[in-house]
Structure 1
């Protein structure tokens, strides 16, 4: 039992250190960011927590990293920088296009949707 506790404690420490070394956690913003929206700081945590469970490659769509988000699917991009209303991802998370995302999951909170909209409107930069 003692060895199991050490293993768990060591694993938790390693995860904490790796998270800190990678520049933060997967905590989602509680509010819409002001100023420039950062993919890594603001958008990626939302996608990792709410989208990657299904879009970690299914149907050719990966939403885990900036490069794969911008790559879109083999059929088409999902982000049109500067134009949320033409971006498939935005249309799906707002329910303007069916099937609305996430399928079978909780709808994103309004501040999460607005964060993604702002990021796309600001040019969907990797900052």
Structure 2
């Protein structure tokens, strides 16, 4: 009788382990397709995003610091810009697409080059 209970307990443990292991292998992973870092440039990708979404406020005319009208202003604040757009705190009153956020992040991670 004791052997029968012990066998059932061991069988239960083995089946439970198999169940949880199979659950782990069936989890869908999010796949993010990134453009190669060399293809994300300030002039072609980042500057238009900044101009269309940020300089209304962050410019000489807009009056909000930091001024993001030039490469110097954007690059000096690159890490801050990345953090603000990734957290979706910026732009206020607007939204960036996931692709725009990803382009800014890739550009910043690549060194915020003037390319």
Deviations 1:39-90 (A, max 9, x none): 011100010011111111433311122112123xxxxxx22xxxxxxx2111
Deviations 1:73-116 (A, max 9, x none): xxxxx22xxxxxxx2111111227xxx011122x1000000000
The two structures have a TM-score, normalised by structure 2, of 0.61
The structure whose residues are more often helix, as a share, is 2
Which of residues 63, 66, 74 in structure 1 aligns to 2:71?
66
2: CA distance, partners of 1:56 / 1:33: 29
In structure 2, the partner of 1:113 is 101
Q: Which has the larger radius of gyration?
A: 2
The answer on whether the counterparts of 2:45 and 2:103 sit within 8 Å (CA) in structure 1 is: yes
Aligned length: 80
Structure number with higher relative contact order (C-alpha < 8 Å, ≥ 6 residues apart): 2
2: CA distance, partners of 1:59 / 1:43: 19
The two structures have a TM-score, normalised by structure 1, of 0.56
RMSD: 2.0
